[in-house]
């Protein structure tokens, strides 16, 4: 990449699945509901309406902060962020400016580096996690633009990373890990198609000649807005890197701006010149008292076992390979399913006196490779598994019949074998296996054929 090193930071929005909205009693589940049916004076921004903060949303933001190894700030407050856009009925968004609920966190990603065949781990810092409200939704049609305010005021968590990334693959891995963490916490579906997880990468390039990492940030950055798939985030970043290198090579500086991503063409396009914080005229929200959290309250919010912790437990305590442990833990339901089977199976094999070297790995293989459907209830899964482990009963009569037929039809191979061409028997075994449709082990077939020919 010549001497240009990408600098990438992320802003991620997560819509919380609380039952009510952030500052009013309206239902927060707006998906598929008729437009403007879940609204009230508060989320429509009527003058005089008073917001009341949603306790659950605050608790869940703290939970996210904890899961991302953040410091939870015992004092926090809401601020008004002003801008004019038709999806924002009040003319300002209630957000958090200088006192976010959580800050100074980090997320570690781990992945198998195929080239080195080694486990690689990297840490990316989280700058802040704050709580705000979502906006309404604009619906563009040929007759004009309509607004649906059902989404207006739905709790929205913004997670901001430090500009620690230098390539789009790490960004994708980080976002995938973050999505799994959020789903484990049960605070959001983090579903990009439904818009409950939205991502904005910020990209710039710094010039670097020596091997020593240049720490100074470039004096510009380009933000790509509202991308709704991990693949598109990667594409948008890669496109921006190429585009910006071209500009820098001409001795110019790319414009600091907000760009959109065209999914069909795989390119970014200019949307608007980026606002500065001062343009938002932030000031403390006067209608909501500041948040003060006691230690007792913060301690009562407990983080469940996280995906990466499960991976570590599976590998170190259950002796499962990293690859399978990773796949099993991407979906908490699948991990729970695996663990249920794992516990039950271990007692069963003790009872049945079965000797299996590494039962956990065996189950992991069966689930990951879909050898048995993971739709089955655990008990049925185990029955199938045990059935598969038992040596197969062979229909002796059928086998004999098939062998007789194959030997008769392949006299030449039989003769060859008798003359000492040992390999000829493998051809006969193959023929029998084909007729038996694989329902018998090759070893048994070979033994039976040998017996027969030697008897003759």
Q: Which residues lie near ligand ADP (CB under 6 A)?
A: 7-11, 160-163, 202-204, 217-218, 221, 277
Q: Which does 66 bind (CB under 5 to 8 A by kind): ligand ADP, Zn ion, none?
A: none
- Nearest CB to ligand ADP, comparing residues 126 and 414: 126
Q: Is 106 helix (H, G, I), strand (E, B) or coil?
A: strand
Per the CB < 8 A criterion, the answer to whether 169 and 24 are in contact is: no
Residues 6+ away with beta carbon under 8 Å from 244: 4, 203, 204, 205, 222, 254
Helix pair angle (332-352, 307-318), 10° resolution: 20
User: Smallest distance, Å, CB 40 to Zn ion?
Assistant: 3
Buried b (16+ CB within 10 A) or exposed e, 403-439: beebbeebeebbebbeeeeeebbeebbebbbebbeee
Per the CB < 8 A criterion, the answer to whether 224 and 240 are in contact is: yes
Q: Which of 7, 16, 43, 57 binds Zn ion (CB under 5 A)?
A: 43
- Nearest CB to ligand ADP, comparing residues 157 and 406: 157
According to CB under 5 A, which residues from 282 to 321 bind Zn ion?
none
CA distance 435 to 60: 61
Q: Which of 7, 14, 26, 407 binds Zn ion (CB under 5 A)?
A: 26
CA distance 33 to 35: 6
- Nearest CB to Zn ion, comparing residues 29 and 69: 29
Stretch that binds Zn ion, among 22-30, 101-109, 209-217, 307-315 (CB under 5 A): 22-30
Q: Which does 8 bind (CB under 5 to 8 A by kind): Zn ion, ligand ADP, none?
A: ligand ADP
Q: Which does 204 bind (CB under 5 to 8 A by kind): ligand ADP, Zn ion, none?
A: ligand ADP
Contact between 40 and Zn ion by CB under 5 A: the answer reads yes
In this structure, are strands 75-76 and 155-161 parallel, antiparallel, or unpaired? Answer: unpaired
Q: Which does 9 bind (CB under 5 to 8 A by kind): ligand ADP, Zn ion, none?
A: ligand ADP
User: Smallest distance, Å, CB 27 to Zn ion?
Assistant: 9
CA distance 224 to 9: 11
Instruction: Tell me which residue has tokens 């998906």.
Output: 31
Other beta carbons within 10 angstroms of residue 285's beta carbon come to 21
Q: Which of 24, 227, 237, 318 binds Zn ion (CB under 5 A)?
A: 24
User: In degrees, to the nearest 5, what angle opens at C-alpha 251 toward C-alphas 250 and 257?
Assistant: 90
CA-wise closest residue to 222 among 198, 249, 266, 257: 257
- Nearest CB to Zn ion, comparing residues 36 and 167: 36
User: Smallest distance, Å, CB 224 to ligand ADP?
Assistant: 11
Q: Which does 93 bind (CB under 5 to 8 A by kind): Zn ion, ligand ADP, none?
A: none
User: Smallest distance, Å, CB 269 to Zn ion?
Assistant: 35
Q: Which does 24 bind (CB under 5 to 8 A by kind): Zn ion, ligand ADP, none?
A: Zn ion
Task: Give residues in contact with Zn ion (CB under 5 A).
Answer: 24, 26, 40, 42-43
């Amino acid at each position: 990449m010549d001497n240009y090193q990408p600098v990438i930071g992320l802003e991620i929005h997560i819509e919380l699945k609380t039952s009510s909205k952030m500052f009013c009693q309206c239902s927060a589940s707006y998906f598929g509901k008729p437009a403007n049916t879940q609204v009230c004076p508060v989320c429509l921004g009527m003058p005089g309406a008073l917001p009341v903060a949603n306790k659950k949303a605050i608790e869940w933001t703290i939970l996210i902060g904890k899961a991302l190894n953040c410091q939870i700030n015992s004092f926090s407050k809401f601020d008004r962020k002003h801008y004019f856009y038709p999806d924002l009925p009040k003319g300002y968004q209630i957000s958090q400016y200088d006192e976010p609920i959580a800050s100074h966190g980090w997320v570690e990603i781990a992945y198998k580096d195929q080239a080195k065949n080694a486990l690689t781990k990297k840490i990316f810092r989280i700058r802040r996690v704050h709580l705000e409200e979502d906006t309404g939704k604009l619906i563009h049609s040929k007759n004009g633009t309509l607004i649906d305010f059902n989404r207006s005021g739905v709790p929205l968590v913004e997670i901001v990373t430090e500009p620690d990334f230098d390539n789009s693959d790490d960004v994708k891995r980080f976002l995938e890990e973050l999505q799994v963490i959020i789903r484990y916490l049960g605070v959001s579906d983090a579903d990009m198609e439904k818009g409950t997880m939205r991502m904005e990468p910020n990209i710039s390039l710094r010039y670097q000649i020596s091997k020593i990492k240049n720490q100074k940030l470039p004096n510009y950055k380009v933000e790509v807005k509202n991308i709704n798939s991990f693949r598109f985030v990667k594409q948008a970043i890669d496109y921006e890197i190429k585009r910006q290198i071209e500009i820098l090579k001409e001795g110019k500086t790319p414009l600091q701006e907000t760009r959109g991503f065209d999914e069909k063409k795989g390119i970014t396009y200019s949307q608007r010149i980026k606002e500065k914080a001062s343009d938002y005229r932030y000031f403390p929200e006067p209608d909501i008292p500041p948040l003060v959290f006691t230690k007792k309250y913060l301690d009562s919010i407990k983080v469940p076992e996280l995906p990466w912790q499960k991976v570590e437990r599976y590998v170190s305590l259950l002796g499962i390979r990293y690859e399978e442990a990773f796949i099993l833990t991407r979906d908490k339901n699948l991990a729970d399913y695996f663990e249920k089977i794992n516990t039950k199976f271990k007692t069963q094999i003790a009872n049945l006196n079965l000797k299996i070297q590494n039962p956990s790995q065996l189950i992991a293989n069966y689930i990951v490779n879909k050898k048995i459907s993971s739709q089955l209830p655990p008990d049925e899964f185990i029955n199938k598994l045990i059935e598969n482990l038992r040596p197969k009963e062979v229909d002796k009569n059928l086998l004999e019949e098939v062998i007789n037929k194959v030997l008769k039809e392949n006299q030449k191979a039989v003769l060859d074998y008798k003359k000492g061409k040992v390999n000829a028997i493998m051809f006969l075994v193959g023929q029998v296996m084909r007729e038996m449709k694989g329902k018998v082990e090759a070893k048994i077939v070979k033994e039976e054929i040998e017996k027969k020919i030697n008897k003759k």
